Amino acid sequence: MFRRIVLGLVAGVLSATSVFAQAAPAAQAPAAPSQFVFPGDGGMILNFVKADKTADFEMVLGKVKEALAKSEKPERKAQAAGWKVFKASEPGPAGAAIYVFFMDPVAKGAEYKVGDILVEGFGAEGQALYKTYSEAYGTPAIGALLHLTNVIALGK
Amino acid sequence: MLAGVLSAASVFAQAAPAAPAQQATPAKNPYMFSADAAITINVIKADKTADFEMIVGKLKDALQKSAKPERAEQAASWKVYKAAEPGPNGSSIYVFLIDPVMMGSDYSLSAILAEGFPQDVQPLYKTLAESYASQTILNLSLIADLAK
């Protein structure tokens, strides 16, 4: 047996990849590239959602899907084409549910900001939906946001 | 950071532990996935990425040359990515995405390498084990495919 299951924490692991959903910058700063643009082959976001807010979170994700489907922007269609949402069987911190966004292929140059997609699709209602979405997040909100490059597809 | 988080899902690769003093209940194999898809987040030591990628190449060879039909099926939905973001202590993060999962199949790298390279499995597995800083496994149910 070469492995040991560790029932505990993956303590402080993926440095420099934590993003919290909200928080506007306090002062004017040079615009950094958006973390929600994926220049490589894929992207992955681990979202931690309060245990009692999963229905809200999933409801809003349904609206995101609707907004992407009805958008006339080709990049929104391209985003939808490679974007899957999964729920993990394993719990996150403080009993949070872990939702994984996996994007492959990514729409080059497109920003995967849920708030923007909702407002584009639903206007003022989109803002209310985004509030519901934001309030569903646990602490931390996002466990990892990774910009991915294909190394190998084992079947090819 | 992958903020201090994933209970019951972390596996650390390491050298073989000593044999248990008495018979224990066999633990569930964490590499027999139980949902639609699975990811493993593999944190690889900074100076061991070439070793890890060499093993991934061997993994592909073993899957492709296997006479077992399920190995080809496993390979068909198994992708390996590297993250642009560094892990702790300059480590590299490799993500395995398996979508869809082949239920009932064992995705243990050690088992696949042993099948494909029975003569070399010990040194290969030693190299693999020494490359790991940590590993996190998530079994995933599909909630939405935003294209469908």
CATH code, domain carrying B113: 3.30.70.100
Q: Is residue B88 part of a domain?
A: yes
Both tokens assigned to A13: 């692991």
Confidence of residue A11 (pLDDT cuts 50, 70, 90): very low
Please give the share of chain A, as a percent, with pLDDT higher than 70. Answer: 81
Distance CA B75, CA A103 (A): 20
Distance CA A66, CA A117 (A): 10
Count how many pairs of residues, chain A against chain B, have C-beta atoms within 8 Å. 222
The DSSP element (H or E) to which A135 belongs, if any, is helix A114-136
The answer, for A40 touching chain B at a CB cutoff of 8 Å, is: yes
Distance CA B141, CA B35 (A): 5
Q: Which of B7, B128, B146, B148 to mutate to test the interface with A (most CBs of A within 10 A)?
A: B146
Global ipTM: 0.84
Instruction: Please count the structural domains in chain B.
Output: 1
Please report the pLDDT score of residue B19 as a whole number.
44
Q: Do B99 and A5 touch (CB under 8 A)?
A: no
Q: Which of B1, B43, B44, B101 to mutate to test the interface with A (most CBs of A within 10 A)?
A: B1
Q: Is residue B57 part of a domain?
A: yes
Q: Which of A1, A14, A56, A114 to mutate to test the interface with B (most CBs of B within 10 A)?
A: A14
The answer, for A33 touching chain B at a CB cutoff of 8 Å, is: no
Is the pLDDT confidence value at B12 over 60? no
Question: Which 111-150 residues of chain A touch chain B by CB within 8 A?
Answer: 140, 143-150
Residues of A in contact with B41 (CB under 8 A): 14, 144
Confidence of residue A26 (pLDDT cuts 50, 70, 90): low
Q: Is residue B60 part of a domain?
A: yes
Question: Which 21-80 residues of chain B touch chain A by CB within 8 A?
Answer: 27, 30, 34-37, 39, 41, 43, 53, 56-57, 59-60, 63, 72, 74-80
Is the pLDDT confidence value at B23 over 70? no
Is the pLDDT confidence value at B21 over 60? no
CA distance A68 to chain B (A): 8
Q: Do B8 and A90 touch (CB under 8 A)?
A: yes
Residue-number span of the structural domain to which B53 is assigned: 34-140
Please report the pLDDT score of residue A1 as a whole number.
31
Mean pLDDT of A45-61: 98
Domains and CATH numbers, chain A: 42-148 (3.30.70)
Please report the pLDDT score of residue B17 as a whole number.
37
Q: Do A90 and B57 touch (CB under 8 A)?
A: no
Q: Is residue B19 part of a domain?
A: no
Helix, strand, coil percent content, chain A, rounded in steps of 5: 35, 30, 35
Confidence of residue B124 (pLDDT cuts 50, 70, 90): very high
Q: Between B148 and A145, whose confidence is greater?
A: A145
Q: Do A17 and B143 touch (CB under 8 A)?
A: no
CB B15 within 8 A of CB B129: yes
Q: Do A154 and B75 touch (CB under 8 A)?
A: yes
Mean pLDDT of B95-114: 96
Please give the share of chain A, as a percent, with pLDDT higher than 90. Answer: 78
Mean pLDDT of A67-93: 96
Tens digits of per-residue pLDDT, A97-149?
Answer: 999 999 999 999 999 999 999 999 999 999 999 999 999 999 999 999 999 99
**Ramachandran angles phi, psi of B139, nearest 5°:** -90, 130
Tens digits of per-residue pLDDT, B55-81?
Answer: 999 999 999 999 999 999 999 999 999
Q: Is residue B110 part of a domain?
A: yes
Both tokens assigned to A26: 């306090």
Q: Is residue B132 part of a domain?
A: yes
CB A97 within 8 A of CB A51: yes
Which residue of A lies nearest to B83 if distances are taken between CA atoms? A148
Is the pLDDT confidence value at B95 over 80? yes
Is the pLDDT confidence value at A2 over 70? no
Q: Is residue B12 part of a domain?
A: no
Q: Please tell me what DSSP assigns to residue B46.
A: G
Please report the pLDDT score of residue B106 as a whole number.
96
Which of A89, A86, A114, A91 shows the shortest CA–CA distance to A101? Answer: A86
CA B30 to centroid of chain Cα atoms: 10
Q: Between A137 and A17, whose confidence is greater?
A: A137
Q: Between A155 and A24, whose confidence is greater?
A: A155
Q: Is residue B130 part of a domain?
A: yes
What amino acid occupies position B96?
Answer: F
